[in-house]
């Protein structure tokens, strides 16, 4: 009887916390006003992760000053018109587990005992449409703020160079050493939301799930 009551008690607490988190994911951190539409940035959802997508180059910034595009994927670097950036646990993120026997141990390790983080960079010849994607315009200043945020997420050598962690020759993505500690309180979607806030874009009060991030991006002025 005591065991059943205890289980019911903790189940009620878990359900309450889950409901609260889902509720606050609907609440924006701020109500933003319209801003100059100098450049478009996008966010896409791939599984449980979200990524910030920006042009390789425009009249504001050229990413080839920071990244060697030929080291990103298996396509010629000149084919890449856009770059997608994501941040996550250094063990779970590159492994991208699909089997429950892999997801559970790697997931627990990432949430509570993470050994570090990694930046994922993927090259696109055009904006990806195979996954959910939302785009919005930002001003030049806010765009540069987001660029700076992304760059500050990379771990650098003493010489100021990024550090390649894993290159997958069978995909268009590579992983780099990253700054920041992955945890239950700060996952890949929290990172995306932080980046969007530097562009003065609307983000959820709690951004732990990808759907919350995508919902608020869609509510920003186009």
**pLDDT tens column, 1-57:** 554 444 444 344 434 444 545 545 566 667 665 677 889 999 999 888 999 999 999
Phi and psi at 141, nearest 5°, equal -60, -45
Residue range 65-74: mean pLDDT, rounded? 85
Q: Does 31 or 215 have the greater pLDDT score? A: 215
Residue 34 confidence (pLDDT): 63
Comparing 93-102, 128-137, 165-174, which segment has the lowest mean pLDDT? 93-102
* Parallel/antiparallel/unpaired status of strands 39-46 and 164-167: unpaired
Burial of 121 (0-12, 13-18, 19+ CB in 10 A): buried
Would the CA dihedral through 64, 66, 71, 73 be positive or negative? negative
What span, in angstroms and rounded, lies between the C-alpha atoms of 25 and 77? 38
- Residues forming beta bridges with residue 133, ordered by sequence position: 44
Predicted TM-score of the model (pTM)? 0.86
pLDDT above 60 (res 147)? yes
Annotated domain spans of the chain: 2-218
Q: Is the per-residue pLDDT at 108 higher than 90?
A: no
Question: 104 with 73: CB under 8 angstroms?
Answer: no
Q: For residue 99, what pLDDT is reported?
A: 61
Q: Using the 8-state DSSP alphabet, how is residue 143 labeled? A: H
């Amino acid at each position: 009887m005591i065991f059943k009551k205890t289980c019911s008690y903790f189940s009620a607490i878990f359900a309450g916390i889950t409901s609260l988190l889902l509720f606050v994911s609907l609440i924006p951190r701020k109500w933003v006003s319209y801003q100059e539409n100098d450049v478009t940035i996008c966010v896409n959802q791939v599984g449980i992760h979200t990524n910030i997508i920006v042009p390789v180059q425009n009249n504001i910034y050229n990413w080839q000053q920071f990244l060697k595009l030929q080291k990103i994927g298996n396509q010629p670097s000149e084919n890449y018109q856009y770059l997608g950036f994501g941040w996550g646990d250094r063990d779970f993120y590159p492994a991208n587990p699909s089997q429950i026997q892999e997801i559970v141990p790697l997931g627990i390790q990432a949430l509570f005992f993470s050994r570090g983080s990694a930046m994922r960079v993927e090259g696109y010849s055009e904006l990806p449409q195979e996954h959910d994607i939302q785009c919005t315009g930002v001003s030049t200043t806010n765009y540069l703020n987001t660029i700076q945020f992304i760059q500050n997420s990379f771990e650098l050598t003493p010489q100021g160079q990024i550090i390649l962690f894993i290159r997958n020759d069978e995909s268009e993505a590579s992983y780099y050493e990253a700054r920041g500690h992955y945890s239950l309180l700060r996952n890949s979607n929290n990172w995306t939301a932080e980046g969007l806030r530097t562009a003065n874009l609307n983000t959820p009060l709690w951004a732990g799930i990808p759907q919350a991030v995508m919902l608020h991006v869609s509510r920003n002025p186009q």
